[in-house]
Amino acid sequence: MITGGSRGLGREMVLAVARAGATVVVASRKLDACESVAEEVRAAGGQALAVACHVGQWEDLGRLADTVWREFGRVDVLVNNAGMSPHYGSLAEVNEAMWDKVLDVNLKGPFRLSALIGERMVADGGGAIINISSIAAYRPSAGEAPYAAAKAGLNNLTLSLARSFAPTVRVNCVVAGPFLTDISKAWKPEVLERQMRKLVLGRAGEPAEIVGAVLYLASNASSFVTGSVIDVHGGGF
């Protein structure tokens, strides 16, 4: 199951795990967008289910979990990928609604979905949960304070969940740097250039470059790995 699976890094992950032989649940707010990616998987010979879900809505997450268990009877891997970081002019312009929405999508949603899925994974004998965080959790810019705070919380939550669901369910985190997804098209050139100067590799990542870490953490190749935070950010330390 991959949240935020209809675009950007989420879409890339969906296609990659499907090529690896997984049946994929594509979850995102817009059903038609999810169905479009699911159809890509099916056209390539894979299996996919599209489910509309707003990860910031507590009740939606319960419906998502119930739908997937009703359809497949289990979840082996959960990827908490959905996220958002709205622009704002100044900190004083960040109103309560914006703050709550950013924390809901980036932190509350992964917590609730992991709680629902993780407990069922334990009952079923095991599984893997992968949280997708951001380099903003380490090095926040002035324009992403709520998002950076939420992602820092997600890094911490990873460790707590790893202890909570041990020893049968592994929980890990991927800290992503700037990637050239559709969202990056909205970045101002000077902002992108400034970000590139901070990275050892001197460039942004291509979407396909996120999937190696995700496939590793989803598979038995990482059977002795839990509570780990893996950086995939081009050397943005």
Q: Provide the CATH number for the domain around residue 140.
A: 3.40.50.720
The C-alpha atoms of residue 214 and residue 225 are separated, in whole angstroms, by 13
Nearest to 195 by CA among 180, 173, 175: 180
What's the confidence (pLDDT) of residue 196?
Answer: 74
Is the CB of residue 86 less than 8 Å from the CB of residue 145?
no
Domain that holds residue 13: 2-232
Instruction: Inform me whether the pLDDT recorded for 151 exceeds 70.
Output: yes
List pLDDT tens digits, range 48-88.
999 999 999 999 999 999 999 999 999 999 999 999 999 89
Tell me, yes or no, if the pTM score tops 0.85.
yes
What's the confidence (pLDDT) of residue 12?
Answer: 97
Domain count, the chain: 1
- Given 88, 138, 147, 216, which residue is catalytic? 147
What's the confidence (pLDDT) of residue 144?
Answer: 93
What's the confidence (pLDDT) of residue 184?
Answer: 62
- SS3 state of residue 176: strand
What region, left, alpha or beta, does residue 31 occupy, with left being phi > 0 and alpha being psi -120 to 50 degrees? Answer: alpha
- Say if 208 falls within a structural domain: yes
- Say if 237 falls within a structural domain: no
Half-sphere exposure of 227 (CA within 13 A, CB side): 10
Give the mean pLDDT of 181-195.
69
- Tokens 């509309």 found at: 52
- SS3 state of residue 70: helix
Give the mean pLDDT of 138-156.
95
Say whether 147 is catalytic: yes
Instruction: Inform me whether the pLDDT recorded for 185 exceeds 90.
Output: no
**Beta-ladder partners of 48:** 24
- Say if 87 falls within a structural domain: yes
| For the chain, percent of residues with pLDDT exceeding 90 | 88
What's the confidence (pLDDT) of residue 236?
Answer: 86
